[in-house]
A and B are shown apart, each in its own frame.
Chain A
Amino acid sequence: MEERIIKTSCGQCPPGICGMLVHVKDGKMVRVEGDPDCPTTRGSLCPRGLAAVELVYHPDRLKYPMKRTGQRGEGKWQRISWDEAIDYIAENLAKVRKKYGPLAVAVACGTGRPEPTLAMRRFLNVGGTPNRIGYPHNCLTPRRIGCIITYGEKFILPDINNTSCIVLWGTNITHTGLGRGGADYARAFKRGVKTICVDPYQTPLASKADIWLQVRPHTDAAIALAWMNVIIAEKLYDKEFVEKWTHGFDQLAQHVKEFTPEWAEPIAWVPADKIRQAARMFATTKPCSICIGVAVQFGMNTTHTLHAIFSLPALVGSIDIPGGQVFSSIPRDILGMFGSEWTSEVPVKWEESVGAKYPLLILGGNPSASHMGWRAVLHGDPYPIRAVLVNACNPLLGHENAKGFVREALMSLDFISVMDQFMTPTAELADIVLPATTPFERDEIHVPSFSSYSPYIPAASPKVIEPLWECRNDVDFFADVCRKLGFDYGASTNRELLDKILLNARGFNFEGFTEKGWERVPDRWKKYETGHLRTDGKPGFNTPSGKVELYSDYLKSLGMEPLPVHKEPLESPYGDPELNKEYPLVLTTGIRSRVFFHSQYRQFRTFREIHPEPIVRLNPETAATHGIKDGDWVYIESPRGRCKQKAMLTLGIDPRVVLAEHDWWFPEKPAPEYGVWESNINMLTSEEPPYDPGIGSTPVRSLLCKVYKVEGGA
């Protein structure tokens, strides 16, 4: 049979559009390449996309539904049919619902790929529970929240393609998200864009930046406050914009008077001159913009950090102009086809969520932070959760205090099902394990990036091959469970759902959508002048004051400071000098791998050749103090536990800071644990309060630790 080329979009990581041409022969994917017509990636692909064939045909993929036969976690499984699996799940969910009520059923979801997210949201809504246990407190949601507080919109994104100065704040986009600004930035760099990078580690990105601010983990608010001080004191702000479109400038000006670069230097460990130089470059290079990464959000001061950083582009008037910080140009009715209408036909009662205490989290659209969810499981606080459907999630790797807390919670559950592409340490604790399709075996809608501005509307990502073995997609799975439980899911298959959503929003079905290809909407600039932001159609922003809220009455009403402040992380050299004596180093975690995506893809031979083992980055000075040589296995220990990773000595990290990798497990090691307790950095993190008071964020990237050599090697 002829080799056919099918146009699709990758979909192996969350939002962003990475056009892909898949070569298919005899119903089999033979190779993939980037789609040169794709407006964002223009023919390039990242390692994850390039390894698509390795993913789809990997021999270790889950192929059939399985049911636990031994004790939980013992690793004994029996193949069953999908019908049996659905019956068993529905029966167990019904039991839990009858005994504890609908709130006792929850879903755990990882990085929110478009399809599982959509699928489970409707399932939760019709099932009468808002609880989707995940990472909203540290991942994308805080950025949305910061943006809503400041601008009244969910997103204001850097227009990287047209900007003259970009601040990459806690993000390594050329490694993490090709379709989310990475490819845009690589092109911008090539044309000579001015770059400021704020990162504790000299990533390749930071090594090329014009200015690199080597910040102490989670002191970003101090840097942002010092920038404001410089911008206001040196009158570098946009007087006209500030007067006309911002709220609380005078209070802010008064407030930041004391936060000079000299004030910030001992807090953030960045020389005052460098902070000043960066602030000037940002304020005087027009247009400028900021790309914010997750790293700034992990901590107890997330709300203020984001409020501070988001205020910066408004001070210099770089708002909604080409190359500035830009609101989406996509009309709201088209954005509606993400499926939010379908999921919200049945309203959610957020006030019943385990995270209801965190009003900002509700504002961000998902209040069930991991620590809140597992606390409900383990301690019945604020009420019991007894059954969890885990879809595309590996909490035993990804969630705080994985061994002492998450594992205990999972073990104590009445019922767990896990749907995934591979067997994982988490799946080994389930009662039912279900095989999931890869994105190449299902139709999807891919939404544009949430990290960089794109005028391209969501794109179709049609399946290129039929599902392998007995793998199924998440929508079909949740639809079946709902049918069995007597809930109205509103669609019986994934394709029916996509057609329904598209017909409703655009007037054509998925096939028609696929034919459309890349569709660009016209850029619309300065929407605050034209009335395109506010629901009432008047000029201004969607905030209570109608302006950019440098001073937030809303935060004040919640009992928080209305102007951004820096707060010292509690577990830090200055926050806990006593503990610092025993744990002398600052631990930051979660540097992104070039090839893996969180806990995914450790099975790929190509990837393990490039990145075989977990790496902890140490300054040579620190290593010498502890008798550690490059390539030694070392223990990293916090007051909560220890794990071992391989030392890489580099001048790119401060001698007082240690940078460890996250989500390491070893599929090649014996089941059922797969070495999950060897190098898992979440054995060192804490689920305990205090959290960020508004968002519930946890300080997993700014802790204290000590390091020492593993005697006798690994």
Chain B
Amino acid sequence: MTQLALVVDDELCFDCKACEVACKQENDVPTGVRWIMVIPVGPKKVGDNLIARFVPTPCLHCAKPPCAEACPVDAIKKRGDGIVIIDEGLCIGCGDCIPACPFSVIGIDPQKNVAQKCTLCLHRIEEGLLPACVQACPSQAIYFGDINEIASRLRYERTQRRK
């Protein structure tokens, strides 16, 4: 089954925030709502080393989206291509989906009073373009496509790098 998604190779992320700004500009996301956010992990002391990672975190378009289950008006649906979409016309802005999301990637647009999150730049991918964050990333750390294909590609690239 197809599952379109963004997959992040966190080894490559330098925490430059290009993805965050690209998303904001492309989707006109209001202040206070973040469709993608780079989460720093660490630095933590492991043995003699300080380890730090930076993880760009968009909506993961879950296989069984808990946000959809939590939505009382069925405004959140999973499409055939795997994309989880909030229908702003149906959304009543109750916010039940927010705590349901395990990755905290849903926010409420205070103007429109509707829940919002990453759409995988649906308007762009329908035109054959890459999502804005994918295109902007200077490290090409964000991959777009079917997760099964990306996973094998990512694994291969990582082993190459560690040679």
Q: Give the interface of A toward B (CB within 8 A).
A: 31-34, 41, 43-47, 50-51, 53-54, 174-175, 178, 182-183, 186-187, 189-192, 202, 204-205, 207-208, 594-595, 605-607, 609-610, 650-652
B142 CB to nearest chain A CB (Å): 11
Known: A50-B136, A183-B138. A45 touches B22 (CB 8 A): yes
Question: By the criterion CB–CB under 8 Å, are B14 and A204 in contact?
Answer: yes
A46 close to B50 (CB less than 8 A): no
Please state if A191 and B161 are interface contacts (CB–CB under 8 Å).
Answer: yes
Interface residues of B in 9-45 (CB under 8 A from A): 11-18, 20-22, 24-26, 31-32, 34, 42-45
Given contacts A51-B25, A207-B52, A610-B21, contact A189 B139 (CB under 8 A): yes
Given A47-B16, A174-B14, decide whether A186 and B21 contact each other with a Cβ distance below 8 A: no
Inter-subunit contact A207/B12 (CB<8 Å):
no
Is chain A's interface secondary structure helix, strand, loop, or mixed overall? Answer: helix
Asked, given contacts A189-B12, A605-B31, whether A45 binds B51 with beta carbons under 8 Å apart, the answer is no
A33 neighbours in B (Cβ, 8 Å): 132, 135-136
With A51-B25, A202-B52 known as contacts, the answer to whether A45 contacts B18 (CB < 8 A) is yes
Which A residues touch B152, using CB under 8 A?
none
Q: Which one of A192, A609, A610 contacts B32 once the chains associate, using CB atoms below 8 Å?
A: A609
Q: Of the candidates B13, B21, B140, B163, which one forms a contact with A47 in the assembled complex, judged by CB atoms under 8 Å apart?
A: B21
Residue contact B54 to A204, C-beta cutoff 8 Å:
yes
A96 to B155, CA, bound (A): 69
Interface size on B, residues (CB 8 A): 38
Instruction: Tell me whether A45 and B136 are in contact (CB under 8 A).
Output: yes
Those of B121-163 within 8 Å (CB) of chain A: 132, 135-140, 157, 160-163
Q: A205: which B residues are within 8 A, CB to CB?
A: 14
Tell me the minimal C-beta distance from A50 to chain B in angstroms: 4
Secondary structure dominating the interface of B: mixed
What are 14 A-B pairs at a CB distance below 8 A? A33-B135, A46-B138, A174-B16, A178-B138, A186-B12, A191-B160, A202-B52, A204-B15, A207-B42, A594-B16, A609-B34, A610-B20, A650-B43, A651-B44
Partner of B52, one of A44, A178, A606, A652: A652
Query: Which residues of chain A come closer than 8 Å to B163, judged between CB atoms?
Result: 192
CB distance from B40 to the nearest CB of A (A): 8
Whole-angstrom distance between the Cβ of B37 and the nearest chain A Cβ: 9
Q: Do A31 and B25 touch (CB < 8 A)?
A: yes
Which A residues touch B53, using CB under 8 A?
207
Residues of A within 8 A of B161 (CB): 190-192
Given contacts A609-B31, A651-B43, A651-B50, is CB(A46)–CB(B20) below 8 Å?
no
- Asked whether A202 and B43 contact (CB < 8 A) given A46-B138, A47-B18, the answer is yes
Are A204 and B139 within 8 A (Cβ)? no
Complex Cα gap A53–B28 (Å):
12
Q: Which 4 A-B pairs have the closest CB atoms?
A: A174-B14, A207-B52, A186-B139, A47-B21
* Smallest CB gap from B45: residue in A: A651
CA distance A46 to B160 in the complex (A): 27
How far in angstroms is the closest Cβ of chain B from A46?
6
Q: Quick one: given A186-B139, A192-B163, A204-B15, are A595 and B21 in contact (CB under 8 Å)?
A: yes
Closest to A190 in B: B12
Which A residues are in CB contact (< 8 Å) with B26?
31
B50 and A594 contact, CB distance less than 8 A: no
Q: Which chain A positions have C-beta within 8 A of B42?
A: 207, 651
- A190 cross-chain contacts in B, Cβ below 8 A: 12, 139-140, 157, 161
A44 and B136 form a contact (CB under 8 A): yes
Per-position binary interface string of chain B over residues 74-85, scored 1 when its CB falls under 8 Å from any chain A CB and 0 otherwise: 000000000000
**Neighbouring A residues of B25 by C-beta, 8 Å:** 31-32, 50-51, 53-54, 606
Most buried by B among A33, A182, A595: A33
